Amino acid sequence: MLVLGTRPEAIKLAPVARAMAASPHFQPMVVTTGQHREMLHQMLGLLGVGVKTDLAVMRERQDLADLTARLMRGLGHTLRTERPDLVVVQGDTTTALCGALTAFYERVPVAHVEAGLRTGVPDNPFPEELNRRLIGRIAHWHFAPTPSSARHLLAEGVPAGQVQVTGNTVVDNLLWVLAEGAGRSAFRTERRRILLTLHRRENQGTAMRTMGASLRRLADRGDVEIVLPLHRSPAVRDALLPELGDHPRVTVVDPLDYLDFAATLADCDLVLTDSGGVQEEAPGLGKPALVLRTTTERPEAVESGAALLVGTDPDTILATAGRLLDDPEEYARMARARHPFGDGRAAERILGRLTADLTAGPPGPAAGDPGPRHGPGAADGPASGRPGPAGGGAAGESGATEDGAPGGPDRCGGAADGTGLVGGAPGGADGPAPPRPCAPPSAPGRRPPAGPYDPAV
């Protein structure tokens, strides 16, 4: 069961769902919570992901406590009804936390995609930083996007055998979408093109209003066009529309579907964002990014030189953006920076590890859990081998992996020695059994299996 509720979760779990649908070892069942109902539903068909269950939990101006209560009830009932062998969650949303926690209550093992991101500040971003820390205490498999994320998990006591560096699935999906070539850019002119996204809860209110005023001054330069896909949150709209809604060089659009967003990102010159996902996507396309936050759980983009953490001070934002637009050498340095987040084969590595571990038998205990960790079906052996579409259509429908290669039990990744573990550590008493070797590179119709992800290579 893949649990998702927001647009970023749909983007980042779609490659995993497609890969599972192409494998004889999995029947992916996608459960949506509707945390971003309108933005989510525009995504799923475009990404080749069907939905088995929609919990539709969102209510107008619902607070986090009410949302969490609805999620726990709905997901608990769904888990008891469907009895999956495995629950997969992504990232740090309230949906992901409740998906992991209800799976723990039902004694179903949890795989966490994009594990190990940390700012070190429990309430920034809020509530995501605490959400992901709590998921890290529940999950059995921790699929870290970068070595830095893996180190955070190891420092928190997660056994090395349960951590694997995979790269980020957002890169898999971005490459898949751009290869489709179906998106349309939202830019209308040939001016310098700036893509702006703002939505984070900790930025809402006074900080977002002052940033909006600063960005209006940026548009006043006369040589830029700013495209703002406006989040549906009333708090975001109340903060930004008074400053930017009527400016002739600001194009305000409703949230773009992912094909159009990818095309718009590929078409821009500069990105200003408080989005975590956009921090990962922009470097992959050589787009300098200014991060409009005081902290980031993705320091790799800053460390590589592809992004600058500029904070929320309006004068700093205006000065930094202006410097990049006016200094070709500084702009070129950022545009040429190494991309630290993936090579497009993260889902392949994730599926390989899950296939190997689940066909070897039920997993051992999760970090911090002394009891057995197995799903209702796992005690009898591996995950069901029923093929199906990516998300819950009739069994037997075909799917495709993110790279178009056929699925199968030997589509595995991980370390060159076949372990797929951080540091090549084998599974032990507190970790899963080591995976079996991958299929040989010469197998008909296959490219060589993905080795360990190393962003320095």
Catalytic residues: 92, 114, 128, 199, 201, 231
Contacts of 77 (CB under 8 A, 6+ apart): none
What does the radius of gyration of the chain's CA atoms come to, in whole angstroms? Answer: 21
* Measured distance CA(216)–CA(224) in Å, rounded: 11
Helix or strand (DSSP H, E) at 32: strand 30-32
* Measured distance CA(208)–CA(239) in Å, rounded: 6
Is 12 in a helix, a strand, or coil? helix
Are 108 and 21 in contact by the 8 Å Cβ rule? The answer is no
Are 435 and 449 in contact by the 8 Å Cβ rule? The answer is no
Question: Rounded to the nearest 5 degrees, what angle is found at the Cα of 149, between the Cα atoms of 100 and 47?
Answer: 60
From start to end of 221-343, where are the E strands? 224-229, 250-253, 270-273, 289-291, 307-309
- Smallest CA-to-CA distance from 146 within 124, 132, 164, 131 is with 164
Amino acid at 131: N
Q: Distance between alpha carbon 225 and the CA centroid of its chain, in Å?
A: 28
* Measured distance CA(300)–CA(341) in Å, rounded: 8
Longest dimension (CA), the chain: 67
Calculate helix-pair angle for 7-21, 169-180, nearest 10 degrees.
Answer: 80
Q: Distance between alpha carbon 35 and the CA centroid of its chain, in Å?
A: 15
Helix, strand and coil in the chain, % to nearest 5: 40, 10, 50
Residue whose entry in the numeric block shows the structure tokens 């902290």: 295
Sheet hosting strand 163-165, strand order edge to edge: 53-54, 30-32, 2-4, 87-90, 110-113, 141-144, 163-165
Residue 144 tokens read as 């870290």
